Amino acid sequence: MNARTAITGTQPTPSPKTRASLPEVRQPDFDLAEDVPKYWWDSDPAKTLLLAALSASFPPGERFFIDSVRHYQKEITDPELKAAVRAFIGQEAHHSKEHEALNGYMQGRGINLKRLEREVLWLMNVLRKRLSPERQLAHTVAVEHFTALMAEEFLLKYDALEEMDPRMAPIWAWHAIEESEHKAVAFDVYKTIGGSEFVRLTEMMVVSVLFPVSSGIHLIQLMKEDGQLFNLKSWANGLNYMWGKPGVFRKLLPSYFKYYSPGFHPWNHDARDLVEKAKRKWLAPVMKKAA
C-alpha cells in the first residue's frame, strides 16, 4: 500500500485478471448522406435534439477526459493498465473527431450546435482552473459511469438504435460500444493513484446535478430555436420513453446508485454479451468500408 493510499483509505486498482479485454481503437467510416432526415431518431424533435445536445458536449468533454487521465499516465506501472490508458485516449480522441464531424453535419441542417459546444468548452475550462487534478479525474470517472450506463442500458439494450435512421444509428452504436469497453479505465487509474473516496463520491454528486441540468437546458434551447418548444406531442413522446414506458432513464437508477456502494467497480455490471451482439450488428458494415 502506498503512502497516498494509506492516507485516503482507498484500495489499489483491481488486478489485470479482473478487467475486461483491452479497448479497441477503431476508425469507422460513416455515411452521413444528404437525405438523412433532420429528425433522425423516431422522426421526433425532442428525441433527436436530446442526442444532438449530447453530441455537442462530446468534443470538449472528451478532451477534458483525456487530459485528466493523461495527467497521471506516468504514475501507472501496470503494463495492462498502461495499454488500456493508451486505448482509452485513442478511443476518446476518435469520438471527439467523429462528433465534431457529426455536429458540423447537423449544424448544416439547421441545428445550432456551435453555441452549445462553446458553452461546454467554457465549463470544461472552468473545471480545469478550479479543480485539482485528482478531482478532475474523479469528474471523469463519474461522467464515464453515466455514459457507460447510457450506452449499455439505453442505446444497446432498448430499441433506440432501431428507431434511428440507418445511416445515423451506427455512429451511436460505435460510440456506445466503446464507452462500454473503456468504462473502467479512468476508475482504475483513479484507484491506482490512491484517489480519495470522499472526492470520488462528492464529485459524482456534482456531476449528478450538472450533467442532467445542462443537458436539459441545452435541449430546451434547441427545441426553442427549432420552433418545437411547444410541440407537446414530441415532449410527451420523449418524456414517456425516458421516464414512463419503457422508461430507459428510470431503469438506469439502480445501476447509478451502485456507484456509491462499497467495493464498487464498473465491471461489476458486465455487459459484454450485449456489446458483442451490438458489434456484430452495427460495426461490421462501417468497418468494412474503413478497411
pLDDT in the model for residue 2: 43
- What pLDDT, on the 0 to 100 scale, is given for residue 72? 98
| C-alpha span between 248 and 217 (Å, rounded) | 20
Expressed in angstroms, the distance from the first to the final Cα of the chain is 46
d(CA 38, CA 113): 14
- For position 13, what pLDDT does the model report? 45
pLDDT in tens, the chain (291 residues): 343 443 333 444 444 334 567 899 998 989 888 899 999 999 999 999 999 999 999 999 999 999 999 999 999 999 999 999 999 999 999 999 999 999 999 999 999 999 999 999 999 999 999 999 999 999 999 999 999 999 988 777 878 999 999 999 999 999 999 999 999 999 999 999 999 999 999 999 999 999 999 999 999 999 999 999 999 999 999 999 999 988 889 989 999 999 999 999 999 988 888 899 999 999 887 875 444
Long-range contacts at 213-217 (CB < 8 A, ≥ 24 apart) = 214/57, 214/120, 214/123, 215/50, 215/53, 215/54, 215/57
Question: CA angle, 57 as apex, 244 and 242 as ends, to 5°?
Answer: 5
* Cβ-contact 87, 25 below 8 angstroms: yes
CA-atom Rg of the chain in angstroms = 19
pTM: 0.90
